[in-house]
Amino acid sequence: MSLESLVPVSEEVLSSMVLHPKQALGKNIEIHTQQQGFPELKDSSIAIVGVSEIRNSFFPTSAYKLEDFRKSFYRLFPGNWNFKICDLGNLPNGASPEDTYFALKEICIHLRELNIVTIVIGGSHDLIFPIYQSYQDNSQLVNIVSVDNQFDFSQEEELISGRSYMSRIIMEQPNFLYNFTNLGFQSYYIAQEELDLMEKLHFDSLRLGVLLDEVAQSEPFFRDASIAGFDMKSLRWQASNHPSGPPNGIDARTICALARYAGISDRMEIFGVFEPLNTAVSHQLLTQIVWYFIEGFSSRFDEYPVLTSSGFTRYTVALSDMEMVFYQSEKSNRWWIEIINQSYLNNKNKTTALLPCTHKDYLDACSDKIPDKWWRATKRI
């Protein structure tokens, strides 16, 4: 079992907690230590795993100092959380990146079998590949949300890297990727061939400008996803206080809002934050991103699978050439739109699905405008 390969949290980090108040996070979670051993996973809801694997990172990067993250994270105060959180320590690099991939895949499988949400900290963005592979044994369709300024569809390399891992995922056979969503892409980092591929596969995306102006538009994409990967290179330089960071990018407030949306999602099982920078501001921001994810987790509405027979209001919108059906939850006020499988041969085989959407999508339909996400979803069915 790959859990056995996890290395305990260092004594240096544990010593830094001595003067923390008893309410601090570090004194209210289970921690894998040399003295106490591995935490009891029974009844745990969230597990944190540190990773340092960056050998397949396409971009220049250095190993993240996970100890500095923990020193900052442990001193925060929890929200009104009434569930068990475990810090399982760090996954050491294998003899090859593929060995690390295998170990991370096995860890994700094991924790998911225990119904534990996994938070992966550190490493390069190509680690999404083994995380995705952890779903293959169950033949389970997967939706992935990537917060990144690029699509990572490069096909110029045969090996997996932080620039090409999505190409490997979509070419894997058998393939269980149902949808991929990119949030925050910047056009000048994207080749036209990548844009064409996104269009051909009917994947979703939000430009950086749209994301910054209307961050709430991203929530439905998280609601339908099992995996979320945040690439810290997508942050503008002020957010990480790194002089070589990009002039345009996601700000600190928006990245925390996105993390909260990811945590709220009833379907979200694995949350990864990759390629963090070794600056004091970056350490603090990363701890707040993780905090907001856990805060979102504490606010889940338990609305998956969606059962519209009770607790939902049904709205039928008559457009010029069709009708669309929307549902609004009385508990969360969130919206869904009904998708009909158009490939059925007769009414006996007719199937429907519910696609997460926003109130704006409903208003657009009322104005005789079909939401873009509805078009793409019908193409994927």
User: C-alpha distances in angstroms, 69 versus 21, 22, 64, 99, 351?
Assistant: 18, 19, 9, 25, 47
Q: Distance between CA 191 and CA 194 in Å, rounded? A: 5
Cα of 230 vs its chain's centroid, Å: 6
Write the DSSP assignment of 224-292 as a string of letters: T-SEEEEEGGGB-HHHHT-TTS-SSSB-HHHHHHHHHHHHH-TT--EEEEES--SSHHHHHHHHHHHHH
What single-letter DSSP state applies at residue 7?
B
Instruction: Quote the distance between the C-alpha of residue 299 and its chain's center.
Output: 17
Alpha-carbon distance values, 364 to 63, 328, 374, 377 (Å): 46, 15, 12, 17
Measure CA 86 to chain center: 19
* Cα(95)–Cα(93) distance, integer angstroms: 7
Burial class (CB in 10 A: 0-12, 13-18, 19+), 223: buried
Is 48 strand, coil or helix? strand
pTM for the predicted model, two decimal places: 0.95
**Which pLDDT belongs to residue 161?**
52
Distance CA 371, CA 364 (A): 7
Position 345 scores a pLDDT of 45
**E strand or H helix at 133, and its extent?**
helix 128-133
- State phi, psi for 155 to the nearest 5 degrees: -115, 15
β-pair partners for 235? 250
Query: What CA–CA distance (Å, rounded) separates 57 from 65?
Result: 16
* Cβ neighbours of residue 96 closer than 8 Å, sequence gap 6 or more: 55
Domains detected in the chain: 2-298 (3.40.800.10), 312-380 (no CATH)
CA distance 276 to 122: 6
Helix (H) or strand (E) holding 88: strand 84-91
Residue/partner pairs of 93-100 with CB below 8 Å, 24 or more apart: 93/52, 93/53, 93/55, 94/53, 96/55, 97/53, 97/55, 97/56, 97/126, 97/160, 100/51, 100/53, 100/130
HEC profile of 203-220: CEEEEHHHHHHCHHHHHH
How confident is the prediction along the chain (381 residues), in pLDDT tens digits per residue?
A: 589 999 999 999 999 999 999 999 999 999 999 999 999 999 999 999 999 999 998 777 788 999 999 999 999 999 999 999 999 999 999 999 999 999 999 999 999 999 999 999 999 999 999 999 999 988 889 999 999 999 988 755 554 555 678 988 998 889 999 999 999 999 999 988 889 999 999 999 999 999 999 999 999 999 999 999 999 999 998 988 888 889 999 999 999 999 999 999 999 999 999 999 999 999 999 999 999 999 999 999 999 999 999 999 999 999 999 999 999 999 999 999 999 876 544 454 556 899 999 999 999 999 999 999 999 999 987
pLDDT of residue 43: 96
Q: Distances from the Cα of 103 to the Cαs of 54, 90, 295, 376, in angstroms?
A: 15, 12, 28, 35
C-alpha dihedral sign at 202, 334, 184, 162: negative
φ, ψ at 201 (rounded to 5°): -90, 0
